[in-house]
């Protein structure tokens, strides 16, 4: 049974910071590619950042967000600095593998609201 649990979301003022965490169980963490996605109301889910063989960021968050992982804790993080109102969304943890054994798992999401 695979389980991904996001935490760390909440309400923050523009310019503030948050750290999102994604704790994984039921997978071999060290062979997994992973990333963060977000979905704002009325919009499709979009990539925020991924980490694996290479680390990638959406242009809208580059320089402000940092993705990291701690393999010994089976946990992935997203450090978000200088938050903007347009960052408001539900943030989802994703862990996947494109090679055998293939898998693609998603967490339930955590709400991030950036507002004055």
pLDDT digits (tens, 9 = 90+) for 21-52: 999 999 888 888 999 999 999 999 999 999 98
- Output the average pLDDT for the chain: 95
Report pLDDT for 101.
85
Other CB atoms within 10 Å distance of the CB of residue 102: 8
Report pLDDT for 12.
98
pLDDT digits (tens, 9 = 90+) for 50-87: 998 789 999 999 999 999 999 899 999 999 999 999 99
Q: Residue 101 contacts by C-beta under 8 Å, 6 or more apart in sequence?
A: none
Reading phi first (left if > 0) and then psi (alpha if -120 to 50, else beta), residue 61 is in alpha
Look up residue 22 and give its two tokens: 């994604």
Residue in the structure block whose two tokens are 């967490």: 107
DSSP per position, 39-72: E-TTS--EEEEEESSS-EE-TTTTTTEEEEEEGG
Q: Determine the straight-line distance between the first and last CA of the chain, rounded to whole angstroms.
A: 40
Q: Is the pLDDT at 89 greater than 90, yes or no?
A: yes
């Amino acid at each position: 049974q695979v389980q991904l649990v996001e935490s760390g979301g909440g309400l923050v003022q523009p310019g503030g910071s948050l750290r999102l965490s994604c704790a994984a169980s039921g997978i071999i963490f060290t062979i997994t590619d992973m990333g963060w996605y977000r979905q704002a109301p009325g919009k499709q889910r979009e990539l925020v950042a991924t980490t694996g063989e290479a680390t990638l960021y959406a242009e809208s968050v580059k320089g402000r967000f940092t993705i990291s992982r701690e393999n010994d804790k089976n946990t992935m993080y997203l450090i978000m600095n200088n938050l903007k109102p347009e960052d408001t969304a539900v943030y989802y943890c994703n862990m996947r593998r494109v090679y055998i054994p293939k898998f693609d798992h998603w967490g339930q999401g955590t709400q991030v609201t950036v507002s004055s």
